[in-house]
């Protein structure tokens, strides 16, 4: 995890303190061991105390004033939510997407079975129906159904154009949504502010 230290002295001290706590936690220097169980005191400012809807509280904490600032290219570049599982990420993404104004645009992956495979094994067509295949959610493979709105941040999962900064992990902010192409602005890396077009990829 990288921590950016700003010019503000108070902010710098807070960041250094958090960095030290995080390193100590990772190295196992925090907490008392008792029968292989460890109790760790987490600083109060890192706790989410809303037990009714903790994800909404987390979103409000990480993305304050979202509706006023979501068009600012630096707003999302400085913020991210990390989660332990893809299921949690999908839930956060759905809640966050609902907060954005505008109309949703749905993009679907190709959902037909290759005809050459059907000729070799006709039973595979019944065994692996498009409904089953479209329901799979596998790490590293995009979901069948992608819903976006103008203004939302996205992250590339594959290298598309390394020379122009479109690499795995590059973050972008959607500026236009067309039927077969997405216009976006790069918000991370060396090409911040550059507009780019992402076509439908086979």
pLDDT at 185 over 90: yes
pLDDT at 3 over 50: no
Q: Whose structure tokens read 């907060």?
A: 99
Is the model's pLDDT at 148 over the cut of 90?
Answer: yes
Q: Contact, 148 vs 178, CB < 8 A?
A: no
Q: Which candidate, 139, 132, 20, 10, places its Cα nearest to that of 85? A: 139
Q: How far apart are CA 35 and CA 116, in angstroms?
A: 58
The pLDDT, as a whole number, for residue 150 is 93
Beta-strand pair 195-199/105-108: unpaired
Question: pTM score, two decimals?
Answer: 0.69
d(CA 26, CA 119): 54
**Average pLDDT value for residue range 46-72:** 86
Domain boundaries along the sequence of the chain? 110-145
Q: What is the DSSP letter of 41?
A: P
């Amino acid at each position: 995890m990288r921590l950016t230290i700003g010019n503000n002295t108070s902010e710098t001290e807070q960041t250094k303190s958090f960095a030290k706590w995080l390193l100590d936690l990772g190295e196992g220097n925090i907490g008392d061991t008792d029968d292989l169980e460890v109790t760790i005191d987490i600083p109060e400012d890192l706790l989410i105390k809303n037990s009714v809807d903790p994800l909404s509280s987390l979103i409000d904490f990480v993305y304050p004033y979202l509706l006023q600032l979501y068009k600012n290219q630096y707003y999302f570049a400085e913020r991210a939510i990390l989660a332990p599982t893809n299921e949690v990420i999908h839930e956060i993404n759905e809640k966050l997407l609902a907060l954005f104004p505008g109309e949703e645009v749905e993009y679907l992956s190709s959902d037909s079975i290759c005809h050459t495979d059907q000729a070799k094994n006709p039973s595979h067509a019944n065994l692996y129906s498009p409904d089953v295949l479209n329901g799979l959610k596998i790490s590293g493979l995009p979901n069948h159904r992608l819903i976006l709105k103008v203004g939302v941040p996205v992250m590339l999962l594959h290298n598309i154009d390394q020379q122009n900064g479109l690499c795995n992990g590059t973050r972008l902010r959607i500026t236009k949504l067309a039927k077969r192409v997405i216009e976006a602005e790069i918000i991370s890396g060396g090409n911040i502010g550059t507009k780019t077009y992402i076509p439908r990829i086979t």
